[in-house]
Amino acid sequence: MGKVLSVTEAVNVLLQGQIVGLPTETVYGLGADATNETAIAKVFKAKNRPSFDPLIVHVSTLAAVKEIAELSEAAEQLFLAFSPGPLTVVLPKKKTIPDLVTSGHPTVAVRIPAHPVMLEVLQSSGLCIAAPSANPFGFASPTTAFHVLDQLGTKISGVVDGGPCSVGIESTIVDMSSDVPKVLRL
Ligand code: AMP
Ligand code: MG
């Protein structure tokens, strides 16, 4: 049964392949180790999310972006201008990210979020964290820890309470995986 977790507790749970609600500046995410297929499968199951809907992977540094994706010069400029923040960039993926995360696409969506609690979880776990919004498929994205427990509490290990989300809507997504940049979500 889900409850409010400290950062240390959330990191331990993530390292054990469990799933937890995590605050970001956009909305609360349902986080899992992006390299652990069993953990990723739990995210799809808890959300009742169709397997063809790929997840965004969260990292805390540009160096970490390069570990999971091919970073072009133009994409790097985009990260330098808008990250950490509510910008997700789609890039050619490296093998470290399982196909389950990207729904079989050869690309991966990556974001460096700006929320201090999420950054602390990323840094102290050393993980890349796949985190779609922490709501059942088809429901509104949660912007408080209470919303997360209310909607998914019985299906997750818990949630880290980072306060209400300052942005409150999903990140902008730009596809930089080919020569022409494409805005996929405003
Ligand atoms: P969210 O539901 O906010 O976690 O955002 C996930 C959305 O990001 C998906 O529904 C897709 O629209 C988009 N997305 C994630 N990965 C990719 C990808 N590899 N290529 C294109 N769009 C992606
Ligand atoms: Mg969503």
Whether the pTM exceeds 0.75: the reply is: yes
* Per-residue model confidence (pLDDT) at position 1: 63
Please identify every residue whose CB atom is under 5 Å from ligand 2, which is an ion.
133
Segment 117-137, tens digit of pLDDT = 999 999 999 999 999 999 999
Ligand 2 center to 114 CA (angstroms) = 18
Q: Which residue has the higher pLDDT, 147 or 2?
A: 147
Strands 172-175 and 87-92: parallel
Q: What is the mean pLDDT of residues 93-107?
A: 98
Would you give the DSSP letter of residue 75? H
Question: Closest ligand 1 atom, CA of 177?
Answer: 20
**Any atom of ligand 1 within 6 Å of the Cβ of 120:** no
Quote the CA–CA distance of 94 and 68 in Å, as a whole number. Answer: 5
**Any atom of ligand 1 within 6 Å of the Cβ of 54:** yes
Q: Are 53 and 41 in contact (CB under 8 A)?
A: no
Is residue 182 pLDDT above 70, yes or no?
Answer: yes
Ligand 1 center to 173 CA (angstroms) = 8
DSSP class per residue in 29-54? EEEEETT-HHHHHHHHHHHT--TTSP
Share of the chain above pLDDT 90, in %: 98
